[in-house]
Structure 1
Amino acid sequence: MLLRVTDLKKSYAGADGPVPVLRGIDMQVEAGQTVALTGESGSGKSTLLHLIGGLDTADEGKIILEGREISRMNDAGRAAVRRSSVGIIFQQFNLIPSLDVAANIAFQARLAGSYNTSEANALAASLGLTEHLRKYPEQLSGGQQQRVAIARALAAKPKLILADEPTGNLDEATAGEVMAQMLALVSQTGAALVMVTHSPRLATQMERQLHLSKGMLA
């Protein structure tokens, strides 16, 4: 089992006291598995993804990734796990504007000490980015920027990819193309993928679908 989440709870401070977001999440993800996480806006999908990725801390519960309980780690420990084992793809792309496409793709892999030029170039080629490697993010379309974000996440060879509405800012045709490319590459690398999406059509392309409602998984 690659990922195990047990009785995960998270609340945020509200004007009248704590507001529960996650009320006891249990889930498991096997190596190489693809999982869609659906639910209404505000149901806690992004919160759950951020907790799994070590970007935030839970109030209660356990998150165990590759046998390591990241829910008990400090900031430095969680950051080390992200560098070595987790790739994150955001809806807003989160590319570094001062770096060109090639440097953006290399960024996470260099942090992880796993950068390989030929593999990065092959990733870029498979995503149609070869002719854009010396361009900067502002010179790219939204679809091209998201492809760079996907390449950056995969270049570090993570065991787990977390994608938060990765096609949410793209038109339907571009979203379909980017999604197909991402799933093909994830399959080739053997990484597991947990993806937040509002799209039933995209969710059905994943091996499993989990629905989050009122802080609980169904």
Structure 2
Amino acid sequence: MLLSAKDVTKAFASADGPLPVLRGVSLDLAAGETLALTGESGSGKSTLLHLVGGLDTPDAGSITVAGIDLAGLDDGERAALRRTTVGVIFQQFNLIPSLAVRDNIAFQARLAGQYDVDAAQGLAERLGLTEQLAKYPEQLSGGQQQRVAIARTLCARPKLVLADEPTGNLDEASADAVLGLMLDLVAESGAGLMVVTHSERLAARMGRRLHLRAGVVA
């Protein structure tokens, strides 16, 4: 199993004391599987994605990715896991302003020792970014920046791809096209894909769906 989360709980501090966000969530994801994580705002979707990506730590429960128990990793080891094994597509893009599109796409793959110039060029072409490679993020539309963020993650060839509203900044036609391409690329690599989304259209195209309500699987 590529991803296994068991009885994961997480609470955040508030003025009224600990605020539970996840209350014992479990899920499994095999290599090559696609999963939509759905639920209302505040249901814990993004929190679960961040925990699986090693961006935060659970209060209780266990998370294993590619056979690695995240509880045994320090901050540096979790960062290394995101470079080599887990790719995260953020809703806010997180592109590097001082790097041209070409170098933003290559950045994570170079860190992981996985950079392939032909593969990077192919991704740019398939995502409609060929004419944007010399530009900087501030010169791009929100939709173009989203495509660069997707290309950067996939260029590193991760085993597990986590995406937080990956088409939220695209119009419906562009969102369908980009999602289809992302599904194709993930399928070609054999990676697992977990997507946080509010979109019924996107969720319907994934292999499975996990719906959260108030921090539990509904």
TM range (shorter): over 0.9
Contact 1:36 1:194 (8 Å CA) reproduced: yes
> Is 2:146–2:169's contact at 8 Å kept on the other side of the alignment?
no
In 2, distance between residues paired with 1:49 and 1:37? 9
Give the aligned residue type for 1:88. V
CA distance in 2, matches of 1:126, 1:173: 15
Find the residue that maps to 2:18 and give its secondary structure: strand
Whether the aligned pair in 2 keeps the contact of 1:164 and 1:196 (CA below 8 Å) is yes
Task: Please name the residue that 1:71 is paired with.
Answer: 71
Q: Tell whether the 8 Å contact from 2:105 to 2:148 is kept in structure 1 after alignment.
A: yes
Give distance in 2, aligned partners of 1:21 and 1:115: 37
* In structure 2, distance between residues paired with 1:131 and 1:16: 52
Q: Could you say what secondary structure the match of 1:15 adopts?
A: coil
Match of 1:41 in 2: 41
Structure 1: distance between partners of 2:115 and 2:59: 35
* Equivalent-residue separation in structure 1 for 2:14 and 2:85 (angstroms): 34
> Which residue of structure 1 aligns with residue 101 of structure 2?
101
* Deviation at residue 119 of structure 1 after TM alignment: 1.1
Amino acid at match of 2:173: A
1:8 matched residue in structure 2: 8
- 2:176 maps to 176
In the alignment, structure 2 segments of 5+ residues that lack a partner are none
CA contact under 8 A between 1:143 and 1:175: conserved in structure 2?
A: no
Paired residue secondary structure (1:14): coil
What number of residue pairs does the alignment pair up?
A: 218
TM-score normalised by length of structure 1:
0.97
Aligned residue for 1:145?
145
Q: How many Å separate the matches in 1 of 2:207 and 2:149?
A: 23
Q: Is the 8 A contact 2:95 2:149 kept in 1?
A: yes
Aligned ranges 1:1-218 → 2 under 5 Å: 1-218=1-218
Contact 1:89–1:164 (8 Å) recurs in 2:
yes
User: TM-score, with normalisation over the residues of structure 2?
Assistant: 0.97
- TM superposition shift of 1:97: 1.1
More deviation, 88-97/98-107 = 88-97
Q: Name the CA distance, whole Å, in 2 between partners of 1:198 and 1:142.
A: 18
Deviation at 1:60, TM superposition (A): 0.5
Q: Which amino acid aligns with 1:207?
A: G
Cα distance between partner residues in 1 of 2:104 and 2:20:
36
Q: In structure 1, how many angstroms separate the alpha carbons of the residues matched to 2:28 and 2:180?
A: 24
Question: How far 1:23 sits from its partner (Å)?
Answer: 0.4
Q: Is the 8 A contact 1:54 1:71 kept in 2?
A: no
Letter in 2 for 1:53: G
How far apart in 2 are the matches of 1:114 and 1:202? 29
Give aligned-pair identity as a percent: 65
- The answer to whether the 8 A contact 1:6-1:24 is kept is yes
CA contact (8 A) 1:92 1:169 kept: no
8 A contact 1:11–1:18 mirrored in 2: yes
